[in-house]
Structure 1
Amino acid sequence: MFTAHSSSAFQPTHTPHYTMLMKKAALSLLLLVSSLTEGSAFVSCNASCKGKKAFFASSGLRSSIGESGLEGNRRAPTPNEIAIMDEMITKLANAQPTELPNAVSKAIRIVSSPQFFMRIAQRSDMEQDEEQKEKLSVLANNIARTLEVVVSTTENRLDERSKEVEQVVKAAAEPDTGEFLWPLTPERCEAIQAEMRKLDPGALDESFLLTIDAWMNKSMQDGMDGMVGILQKVLQAYAGTAVSRARDALATQVGAAVTGTSEQEAEAIVSEAQASKEPSSGAIVLEKLLAMDTETWDSEIRNAVSSEEVKLTDLKSELQGTMEGVVLGLENGSMTQQVQAEYLRELMTRIEAASD
């Protein structure tokens, strides 16, 4: 049983296992860089991006994605990151070979990191059981081979997702001039939200977020602060839309479990029940918040409470249930989980601040 160690303990070793695994790490980094920079086109809208306002100054969300994958590999991982890697290593080591491609795809940002292979090497060196040591060595080889296939598939998905991300980003451009003006007007923020809701639920996957991450890194490198801010708005719209849809899906899954019916039958039952039953005040206000720009959260929460539309305790309870039901059901360590979790934590912070 391995547990997370302090980041200072995460140091390279010099065993044959380590040397071999670091070759895999170099390959994984090369594959990851290729998939994020060459596999997707940057914004090709015929519009300019104007504005010098700092990205995070007006952003309700502090940092949905955080640092880039390359920046993250330059520092020692935190204890929490090591714990996530250990969990993933154990999961993949016990997975059937046929399950690896899907598992790697869902957690490609973790698995394709050189730090991930360093952690496998460290665990291999710490392992006393030769059978377990060999199991970790085989795992590293299997993951490296799987990555080659998965990254190729991911590149194709990134190309597809680039079109969908661009579709949403274009909604931020001024309709008359085609220019991107930062900060965005409320109308442009609403347009982003509306465009996001038009996308098929299947499009809002890990590849969608990887594409935004790649575009954001490129914008940062080029000093396009306004475009970085716009992409942050796109992330926020993604999170609100994804969480709202996940809430509906969760209700259907619970209904199926309770009634013992299929999800399709349960969906019909849930829809009928919702039509005949007034939703709680907490649910109504939460759905409003999920569908709006984060800049308007504070005023919306204050107005809802002052008008007695909802009690803060009811709103917090509804949000807490969503955090437990939705976020915990996502792949641990995935960008999907990271973005949605931070979005909901920020919303909880705003709600709690309203009670001060």
Structure 2
Amino acid sequence: MSDTEKAFKTTVELDKFIDELRYANEKELPMLVAKNVLAFDTPFWLRLAARADICGSNDEKKDYENLAASIMTVVEKVVRKTEEKIESSTGVLESILEPITQEDEEIIWPPRDLNGIVEMKKVLELKEKKGFLDEGFLSAVTAQIRQARESGDKPGLVAILQKVLQLYAAHILSKRSYAMKDGQVVKAEMFLETIISADEDSWETILRGGLVYGGGDVEPEDLFNVLKKRVERVNMRTESGSYQQRVLLEYLKEIEERAEAVVQAFKTSTI
């Protein structure tokens, strides 16, 4: 497709969107704007201005001016609400990190007192119960991790924020147990739930002791099968593409990768 064809296609799409906005009623317009808030970029405003300039009457031109004003009002409200959510999420995050925050507001990682992690977990679970750990919170934490990685000079902060997401994932995934079926214990499910609820630092020890290679009673294949089922349940019960889905799946993926490494180590040692 040539540049001319691309430009024409873009113009057609913008005109279609502008017409949709023009004919939306007072109730539909705010929802339409909020849903497409990222679409109001420079090309959009230039096309809207061009449409206004070629109007056949002053009344029609006035309609475009009113439309532009209405869009700007909604966009400003959406931006302000987003900023408030980020600010609120930052406050929630600070309260979760408070148990490991020093008097000078510096956070030492890993914490000198491991009880700090336990207290972090308690605060996080309380905040989740009250509904504070929503998509806004998860997106804010994820954004801070990305920023810390990009800066490259805050590895400790990345580890701290990742721990928050791990605690969140462990809490959510532990809410429902699949370890009992028809009155019988499903060993692999119980083993997985033990890993999920444990601190990441103890995963390797648990895996080595629980798998048959290390004297346990869980076959690696059984563990990987229940991990697969848990992933399927997460995909079914969370919104596709949501931060919650992403965080839970990443946590399960970490467990799977750690299990694969342990199994490989056992196999290598027996060769």
TM-score w.r.t. length of structure 2? 0.62
What residue identity is the alignment partner of 1:349?
E
Please say if residues 89 and 140 of structure 2, whose CA atoms lie closer than 8 Å, have aligned partners that are also in contact: yes
Aligned to 1:59: none
Aligned to 2:7: 14
CA distance in 1, matches of 2:99, 2:12: 49
Please say if residues 283 and 315 of structure 1, whose CA atoms lie closer than 8 Å, have aligned partners that are also in contact: yes
CA distance in 2, matches of 1:207, 1:319: 27
Deviation string 1:181-207 (CA, Å, 9 cap, x unpaired) is 223454444443333223234322210
Are the structure 2 counterparts of residues 179 and 162 from structure 1 closer, same or farther at C-alpha, using a change threshold of 3 Å? closer
Gap regions ≥5 residues in structure 2: 18-26, 45-67, 265-271
CA distance in 2, matches of 1:17, 1:145: 25
CA distance in 2, matches of 1:309, 1:99: 58
In structure 1, the residue corresponding to 2:239 is in which secondary structure? Answer: coil
CA distance in 1, matches of 2:143, 2:124: 19
Alpha-carbon shift at residue 303 of structure 1 (Å): 1.4
Deviation string 1:40-99 (CA, Å, 9 cap, x unpaired) is xxxxxxxxxxxxxxxxxxxxxxxxxxxxxxxxxxxxxxxxxxxxxxxxxxxxxxxx9599
- Whether 1:213 aligns to 2:142 is yes
Kindly report which structure 2 residues correspond to 1:122-141, keeping only aligned pairs within 5 A, or say none. none
Please say if residues 301 and 354 of structure 1, whose CA atoms lie closer than 8 Å, have aligned partners that are also in contact: yes
How large is the Cα RMSD of the aligned pairs?
A: 4.4
CA distance in 2, matches of 1:353, 1:315: 13
In structure 2, the residue corresponding to 1:15 is in which secondary structure? Answer: helix
What residue identity is the alignment partner of 2:137?
F
Alpha-carbon shift at residue 324 of structure 1 (Å): 0.1
Alpha-carbon shift at residue 348 of structure 1 (Å): 1.2
Aligned to 1:180: 107
Deviation string 1:206-263 (CA, Å, 9 cap, x unpaired) is 1011221343355454833322221121122122222223x46xx7xxxxxxxxxxxx
- Whether 1:292 aligns to 2:198 is yes
Are the structure 2 counterparts of residues 289 and 195 from structure 1 closer, same or farther at C-alpha, using a change threshold of 3 Å? farther
What residue identity is the alignment partner of 1:154?
T
Please say if residues 193 and 292 of structure 1, whose CA atoms lie closer than 8 Å, have aligned partners that are also in contact: no
What residue identity is the alignment partner of 1:167?
S
CA distance in 1, matches of 2:185, 2:97: 33
In structure 2, the residue corresponding to 1:199 is in which secondary structure? Answer: helix
What residue identity is the alignment partner of 2:108?
L
What residue identity is the alignment partner of 1:333?
G
- The count of corresponding residues between Structure 1 and Structure 2 is 219
Please say if residues 148 and 155 of structure 2, whose CA atoms lie closer than 8 Å, have aligned partners that are also in contact: yes
Equivalent residue in structure 1 for 2:87, among 148, 159, 162: 159
CA distance in 2, matches of 1:298, 1:113: 47
Kindly report which structure 2 residues correspond to 1:201-280, keeping only aligned pairs within 5 A, or say none. 201=129, 202-217=131-146, 219-220=148-149, 221=151, 223-245=153-175, 247=176, 277=183, 279-280=185-186
Please say if residues 189 and 293 of structure 1, whose CA atoms lie closer than 8 Å, have aligned partners that are also in contact: no
Are the structure 2 counterparts of residues 275 and 158 from structure 1 closer, same or farther at C-alpha, using a change threshold of 3 Å? farther
CA distance in 1, matches of 2:126, 2:184: 26
Please say if residues 190 and 292 of structure 1, whose CA atoms lie closer than 8 Å, have aligned partners that are also in contact: no
TM-score w.r.t. length of structure 1? 0.49
What residue identity is the alignment partner of 1:230?
I
CA distance in 2, matches of 1:189, 1:224: 20
In structure 1, the residue corresponding to 2:100 is in which secondary structure? Answer: coil
In structure 2, the residue corresponding to 1:180 is in which secondary structure? Answer: coil
Deviation string 1:286-341 (CA, Å, 9 cap, x unpaired) is 22222222222122111122342533233222221110011343222222222222
Higher relative contact order (CA 8 A, sep 6+): 1
In structure 2, the residue corresponding to 1:333 is in which secondary structure? Answer: coil
What residue identity is the alignment partner of 2:10?
H
Please say if residues 158 and 208 of structure 1, whose CA atoms lie closer than 8 Å, have aligned partners that are also in contact: yes
Are the structure 2 counterparts of residues 240 and 148 from structure 1 closer, same or farther at C-alpha, using a change threshold of 3 Å? farther
Q: Which has the higher helix share?
A: 2
CA distance in 1, matches of 2:229, 2:96: 29
What residue identity is the alignment partner of 1:223?
D
Aligned to 2:120: 192
CA distance in 2, matches of 1:352, 1:217: 27
CA distance in 2, matches of 1:188, 1:304: 28
Q: Could you say which structure has the larger radius of gyration?
A: 2
Gap regions ≥5 residues in structure 1: 1-11, 25-95, 119-140, 252-272
What residue identity is the alignment partner of 2:82?
T
Identity of aligned residues (%): 26
CA distance in 1, matches of 2:39, 2:217: 47
Please say if residues 173 and 181 of structure 1, whose CA atoms lie closer than 8 Å, have aligned partners that are also in contact: yes
Aligned to 1:329: 237
Are the structure 2 counterparts of residues 162 and 321 from structure 1 closer, same or farther at C-alpha, using a change threshold of 3 Å? same
